[in-house]
Structure formats: structure tokens, C-alpha cells
Structure 1
Amino acid sequence: MWWRGDRHSRPQSFLPARIITGEDAWCEDPRDRHYNQGIRLDEGQGGDRLKRADHLYDFIIEIDHNTRPRVAGRGSAVFLHLARDNFGPTAGCVSMTKSAMLQLLRRLGPRTRIIIG
């Protein structure tokens, strides 16, 4: 689980937690050896940053999608994250309200299986 420590206190959860910094990003390039993994980018370096101006990524739960093995082009950055105000579409993720996210986080642990059907 990742969260914006500059906006929120650490949520209650049994999941390991990591504060999102300005250098945190996600590799979505299927040609890169870090495809579908969290990465660190230097200032000025382009990439899919996790620290966003909006609130969608204030809390992120990584879904174990396309990780063992990682297959290029089979999907990257599939997260549970906060929803837009109008519940607009995501780019393949699952989104929810902040209250639903905090309630879910209180129940999740490292061995929890999330099945999306």
C-alpha cells in the first residue's frame, strides 16, 4: 500500500505501507526490465508519477496482476485507488470513495486475496 503522507496520516492496515514521494513512479514500458514495478525517477525525468495533483493516488493498493511472471503488454499499474468526484472511468484500475478505501484498508493484510470479476 502506498499513501500520500503529506495529505493524510498513515491509514490503519495490516499491509506494509510506503509514503509516496515526488520520485515515486510506475514503469509501464513493456520493453523495460522494470515493467509493472514501482520505480524512482530523478527530478525532471519523465514517467508515470505516483504523486499527482489530484487525489486519485492519495491511497494506492497494488493488485498482484501480471507480476509472476511479468509479461510485456499484459497490463501494468492495475491498482485500487480513489475515485474521481463523478466516478469517471479509470485506465483499468478499480476506484472507490475515500471512506470505502479506508474501511477496506483496515481489513487487508499481506495474505488477503482480492478477486475482481
Structure 2
Amino acid sequence: MTREDLVLTPRGIRFRNRLLPCSIGRNGLTARKVEGDSATPIGIHRITGLWYRADRMARPAHWARKIGPQDLWCDSPDHPLYNRHCRAPLAASHERMRRADPLYDLVLTTDWNWPDAVPGRGSAIFLHQWRRPRFGTEGCIAFARQDLLWLARNLRPGTRLIVPPLAMGAAAMAAT
């Protein structure tokens, strides 16, 4: 591990010698991720993309892509676009990237179960804004808006996200 890795600890994400409070999946961490389990997958992942709402904020980094009204993320395990960005219309189950709330105003995507997605192994493991401190997610890692913005400005594609099997410490982090 280096200071250029995002490392989940029982107290938050450590990056560049800073500790950023975060929320994880409401069911803690898992080594056996499945779609809909509300757990954050253990492992070494990489940052693959940066998306932002241009109508709500300035471009955070040169590699950021705008989120438009038709941008979706497929979460249907039986669809060929499972765990991929796609565009509306899409009949299969999906998440809208352009939400009414601010949770996806800024989104960092990861390589969890990507690019060759295994059906049912989980989709849309993002870094995004939290609802409130320590409020558990569906499996993503969530931050205060200002911390997420700082990350977006300082991360690069390929940055490692290390989620070690912290079990009790990380599970307690989600429940607090």
C-alpha cells in the first residue's frame, strides 16, 4: 500500500495521509458479493471513471464525464449490459445516473465485477455522496460532498481502492 491508494480503515478512507469519514454498505463488508445484498465487496479495486452533474457543479477534473438525462447503469444480471453504463431507454432494471437528490452529483466508478461482469455478482459499486454521516449504502462507499470533491480532484483512473476484511470495525462504521 502507498499513500496514493484509497484504503478503507475502521475510521474511514485513508488517502494521501488524510482520513476521510465514509459510509459503506449497510450490511458491512463481504467476500461473497451478490446483487442486492447491500454489502461492500472486499478486495483491491480500481477507479475506472468519474461522472458529474454539470448543471450542479463545475467539472472536477479533466477526465470527468457529464451525467446527462439519458445516462443509466444496468443492474439486471440477465441483461448483456449488466454492470455497465448505458443509455435510456432501457427496459431492463437500472439505476438512473441523473438523480433528483444529490447522491450522484459526483460519482467515481470502480472495476468491481467489470469489465466482464459475472451475472448476479453485484453492480454499481461507486464512490458517491452520502445521505448523512454513517448512513449505510447499497454497497457503495459514500462521503461528505466536500471530501468526495477533494477525492475527485486528486484521484486518477486506475487508483487502487483497497477494501480489506476489517469485519467488525468496518461493519460498525456502517452502523454508527
Q: Confirm or deny a common fold (TM above 0.5).
A: yes
1:10 maps to which of 49, 56, 59: 59
CA contact (8 A) 2:112 2:125 kept: yes
Alignment length (residue pairs): 115
1:88 maps to which of 128, 135, 141: 135
Q: With CA pairs under 8 Å and 6+ residues apart, which has the higher RCO, 1 or 2?
A: 2
SS at match of 1:115: strand
CA contact (8 A) 1:23 1:43 kept: no
Bigger proportion of residues as strand: 2
Structure-1 separation of matches of 2:117 and 2:69? 25
Structure-1 separation of matches of 2:79 and 2:154? 34
Question: Can you list the C-alpha shifts for 1:48-104, whole angstroms capped at 9, x where unaligned?
Answer: 211111100000000110014310000100000000035421100000011111111
Q: Identify which range, 85-94 or 29-38, moves more after superposition.
A: 85-94
Give the gaps of 5 or more residues in structure 2: 1-49, 165-176
SS at match of 1:48: strand
Structure-2 separation of matches of 1:3 and 1:91? 20
Q: Are residues 1:35 and 2:82 paired?
A: yes
- CA RMSD across the alignment: 2.0
CA contact (8 A) 2:51 2:67 kept: yes
Give the gaps of 5 or more residues in structure 1: none
Structure-1 separation of matches of 2:159 and 2:149? 16
Structure-1 separation of matches of 2:141 and 2:68? 22
Q: Are residues 1:110 and 2:151 paired?
A: no
Q: Identify which range, 84-93 or 73-82, moves more after superposition.
A: 84-93
- The one-letter code sitting in structure 2 at the alignment partner of 1:6 is D
Name the counterpart of 1:50: 97
Q: Identify which range, 33-42 or 63-72, moves more after superposition.
A: 63-72
Q: Identify which range, 74-83 or 35-44, moves more after superposition.
A: 35-44
CA contact (8 A) 2:76 2:93 kept: no
Q: Give the percent of matched residue pairs that are identical in Structure 1 and Structure 2.
A: 40
Could you say if the C-alpha distance between residues 46 and 110 of structure 1 is closer, same or farther in structure 2, counting changes exceeding 3 Å?
Answer: closer
2:106 maps to which of 34, 59, 63: 59
